[in-house]
Amino acid sequence: MLTPSPQNTDAISGTNVQRPNETPGDLKFIADLGRSLLITVHPKKVASRVVEALRAHLDADFCLFAAELKNIGLVTCAVTRDGEVAGDFLVRPRLERWLQFMPPQIGYTERDGNEFMFGGGGHVVEYVSPLQIDGETKGAIVTGFADERHCTENRSRVIEAATQLTAMSVNLSAHYESALNNSITQAREEHRKFNESVLDALPVSLYVVDRDYKIVTWNRHREVGVQGIPRDSAIGRDVFSVLAKYPQGRLRQEFERAFRTGQIERIEQQTVADDGSTRHWMVSKIPMRSSETGEVTHVITVGEDVTVRVEAIHAIGRAEKLAAVGRLAAGVVHEINNPLATIAACAEALEQRIHEGEFKDSDSEADLTEYLGLIKSEAFRCKSITTGLLDFSRVRTGDRVMTDIAEVVRSAANLISHQKRGNQITINVDIADDIPPISADGGQIQQAIIALATNAIDAMPDGGELTLKACRQANRVVLDVADTGTGIPSENMSKIFEPFFTTKEVGKGTGLGLSVCYGIISEHGGRLSVRSNLGRGTTFSIFLPVVQRPGTQNP
């Protein structure tokens, strides 16, 4: 049974009802409660402070706060004479019905025990004061008394005043929570963007997969380059479908091993671009563990381009091999040349005696002539090899002068065209207009170009195109010798500059040509590189530094 409160509630309902004066103690209580709520910002703390203060001030049997708040849900707090009540003290269906059927906008007294909000007390009467949150009734402050005579008009008025203060405080705290949540959301978004910026700034390719092999992170460096894939095309997708061109069986084994063992694994890989250049990568699989369970939840894959480092290591190794072979060659060439010269001289002397008829009556004259011819030709072939070794081991100081490299390329192309090597070979010359003179020995550079071009022609037995190209790149002059021949197998790429390595037939190459070229370019302070595609051709690139003359500047 509901009984409206007899006090003046003009702040809530607009009615004008005469009420007795408040007592000084009540006024002080309301003032103190208002001050305490000013520094209380969370709705749950507001509820706790109000019900504790009200129950103590009114000497009530209990005091209850119950409200359904936006973004928080149901907030409840009950305090009895024995202290705060825990557990299911609220008759939830009663509150839901009360909110559903438009409860009164002013306080009222409930004497029907079946309709009590609080289900755990020995009270006989409840005073229910509705809470107005953002203009709507969202809950109530309920005060219970064990003696009906204690539910006086003055106490009802104090409860109403406390309810209004509580409503204002909850409204303020709700706005504070909303602002705080917005700030937290904004901070989290800024933190996420900052983390993405950090990952994008790293000079490595990085992506992260979860235990379902779904990609959750994909940084900017994983988007660029020949192997790059856009982030939007990767995030949320299965890693094996995104990286479909990689051997799926091997990739799956790597991830399964990382999830199973939790050990960091580093793998060296190579990729070949469309232009035939080889890139070297160090790929690391780094497991991430949960801070709570210790289980591997994600695997970070980091790919670092180590091409420069690998090429530098190979260059050092190659230089050491070249130096060792050079020292060996310089030490033995002269010792080999002397007996070779003796053998050749003896063979020539015997041939001269045959020509003079000294052995004309011998049945073996024809065989002797043939054998001596073989001895002499092989001796001279050995002589050519030792000459190549001597050239290889010789320090090439040369005559370094300012050289027109464009004229060197044209002269080399002219000499190659008159060699008449190969069939159906088309020679193209492409020289830029802005190539500056460089400090070099023109004869040695021409020797290197011709050696590279000769190898290129030999790689095109059925004909093709030989292209000699010269251009400037920043402070370097770049000379390209390109063919459309058979190409170089990947397993031979790291060995082609080694002395005596050749893929030509026995007797058709010493394996020293590229080593000599490498030595010539290195001694000019330059670099020799190669890129090749099987069946499509090979390009050797010579990089030579541009030496600045005093008083000049780069354009």
Residues in the chain: 555
Return the sign of the alpha-carbon dihedral for residues 70, 76, 77, 78: positive
Tens digit of each residue's pLDDT (9 = 90 or more) over 310-324: 877 777 776 676 666
Task: Return phi, psi of residue 417, to 5°.
Answer: -65, -25
Tens digit of each residue's pLDDT (9 = 90 or more) over 463-473: 999 999 999 99
Residue ranges of alpha helices (H) inside 14-106 are 24-38, 43-58, 92-100
Return the sign of the alpha-carbon dihedral for residues 17, 22, 26, 31: positive
Residue 14 pLDDT: 37
Question: DSSP string of 288-351?
Answer: EE-TTT--EEEEEEEEEE-HHHHHHHHHHHHHHHHHHHHHHHHHHHHHHHHHHHHHHHHHHHHH
Please report, as a single letter, which amino acid is at residue 289: R
Contact 19, 8 (CB under 8 A): yes
Contact 416, 452 (CB under 8 A): no
Mean pLDDT of 244-267: 87
The C-alpha R_g of the chain, in whole angstroms, comes to: 47
* In the block, residue with structure tokens 């007899």: 6
Residue 68 pLDDT: 84
- H or E segment and range at residue 268: strand 265-272
- Per-residue pLDDT band for 477 (boundaries 50, 70, 90) equals very high
Superfamily of domain 2-179: GAF domain (3.30.450.40)
Q: Do domains 2-179 and 401-545 have the same CATH topology?
A: no
Asked if residue 231 has pLDDT above 90, the reply is no
> Among 43-47, 283-287, 486-490, 498-502, which is the least confidently predicted range?
498-502
Please report, as a single letter, which amino acid is at residue 280: H
Residue 444 pLDDT: 86
Q: Give the other-Cβ count within 10 Å of 497's Cβ.
A: 20
Asked if residue 38 has pLDDT above 50, the reply is yes
**Residues 263, 257: Cα–Cα separation, whole Å:** 8
Asked if residue 505 has pLDDT above 70, the reply is no
Domain boundaries, the chain: 2-179, 203-305, 310-393, 401-545
**Residues 448, 218: Cα–Cα separation, whole Å:** 45
Q: Which DSSP letter does residue 66 get?
A: E
Residue 134 pLDDT: 79
**Residues 118, 405: Cα–Cα separation, whole Å:** 100
**Residues 441, 520: Cα–Cα separation, whole Å:** 9
- Per-residue pLDDT band for 432 (boundaries 50, 70, 90) equals very high
Q: Within its chain, how far is the Cα of 194 from the centroid?
A: 15
Q: Is 554 helix (H, G, I), strand (E, B) or coil?
A: coil
Tens digit of each residue's pLDDT (9 = 90 or more) over 75-85: 888 888 888 77
The CATH class of 401-545 is alpha beta
- H or E segment and range at residue 413: helix 405-419
Mean pLDDT of 435-441: 90
CATH of domain 203-305: 3.30.450.20
Tens digit of each residue's pLDDT (9 = 90 or more) over 209-224: 999 999 999 988 887 7
Tell me which residue of 124, 122, 147, 120 sits closest to 59, measured CA to CA: 147
**Residues 338, 457: Cα–Cα separation, whole Å:** 35
Mean pLDDT of 415-434: 85
